[in-house]
Amino acid sequence: MNTAEIRYIGNLRTESVHVRSGNTIVTDAPVDNNGKGEAFSPTDLVASALVSCMITIMGIAAQNRGWSLEGLEGKVKKIMGDNPRKIARLEVEIQFGNYVYDKKQRQILEHAASTCPVAMSLHPDLEILLTFQYPQI
């Protein structure tokens, strides 16, 4: 079974259907590349997929240990490069809400994030700046 089915719907837009669930995502070319920027661009999805994967793998690590990650949030800023046009850098910030973790817990969660499957699948030339923001004690 296919994972997704994607079709061009015109005006530099695509529609992707997740085969198993039927959920859809529309992409639009960004303004700086002839589009209207009215939806995620394909490269925006790569950036979002990275952070979603990091949070998911951190969630698995936490769940397996009985820890809570409720309130955890991630942000990503994508910086494009030229010649060739590609994602040059992703600046990722993970914010931990109100939960306090000790040094060992932080190491486990940070390792989980940095070794998620999407991070491990991206080209090594892609710079990923990953920061973690913990609550002040």
Summarised one tens digit per residue, pLDDT across range 23-76 is: 999 999 999 999 999 999 999 999 999 999 999 999 999 999 999 998 899 999
Do residues 76 and 92 make contact, with C-beta atoms less than 8 angstroms apart?
yes
Q: How much is the pLDDT for 70?
A: 87
- The domains of the chain are located at 4-33, 42-133
This prediction has a pTM of 0.94
Point out which residues pair with 25 in neighbouring strands.
16
12 Rama class: left (phi>0) / alpha (psi -120 to 50) / beta:
left
Report the percent of the chain where pLDDT is more than 70.
99
Q: Does domain 42-133 have CATH number 3.90.700.10?
A: no
Average pLDDT of the chain is 95
Task: Assess whether pLDDT exceeds 90 at residue 2.
Answer: yes
Give how far Cα 38 sits from Cα of 11, 44, 53, Å: 11, 12, 24
